Structure 1
């Protein structure tokens, strides 16, 4: 991992480093987007250490923290059941941050960064976020409490989500947030694998 800093450079040819046993205490790298667990473990502390590495806000090539769901996405490929652990972790996150999984609030999109030709950083804002929320409700993607409906999940899977006019410039960020809130982590337990033989 001596050359991990090179991964931050957009012009550098180095794009990937494979390492093992690198998620233990004492190793610092904020840009972790995928974790593949190759060994079975019943240690909750070990899982917390591993997941915790991936839950850090990533940094850009200048070392500045980058905010937004469209970038900060952690994918865990597990060969054991993480379902109970994931549920407890999500519950703790909800209690600590106020974010409700499966629930879209009127201000959920307020912090989306709006691109501009002058490269000046501006945000979508509360008013536009509330208008977007109403549009999602009118499309029956959410109920009157903001709870995600199956119609939204189906539309997300089919890449056919309909957004109100005026949100074209930030559509990718909106879709990314919707996927984070609406999508459920589908974990397949490796111990349930079965060998299937076909009769010829």
Structure 2
């Protein structure tokens, strides 16, 4: 089915003028996106790459670039890496999110601060739920590391059931916000891939032939 036929199918009663207006708007967005890509590609030669100090550990370098770089190529590359890693949450929080079940309210009062009770979703509590100390041992076995009752208390204070966002997702949120502040438009996977592809293509074209 052509895009035009699809438009009329999704917009019953639309006229040819409506379609022409829609097509013009889409074309303008694509044209603007292409211009942004070209502009950033041109700007790359003027925007310095991030200098990683010698005392920064390799595993900390990505965080430094993500939070301080103004280089679109670096930010787009990290954005794509975070998207690829988003589903692989091997953190303690990720293990708790996957396995924590409702527990008796008295358990919170035993291991937590009662003053925080008003900030905890009531759906975390169930009179017949599995005790927190039992769940802490079970999740520790799954996580292959220590998970304490206090860890579980901190988790339910911060997150409602089903609302947990992975570390990578939170980093992506921060990166998308920085990108918008730096460049004035939203970052997407498609755009990041296009930008990285443009730069890589330019680098290949500039590679000298050794003969």
TM-score, length-scaled by structure 2: 0.26
Q: Which has the higher contact order (CA 8 A, sep 6+)?
A: 2
- Between Structure 1 and Structure 2, the one with more strand by share is 1
TM-score, length-scaled by structure 1: 0.27
- Between Structure 1 and Structure 2, the one with more helix by share is 2
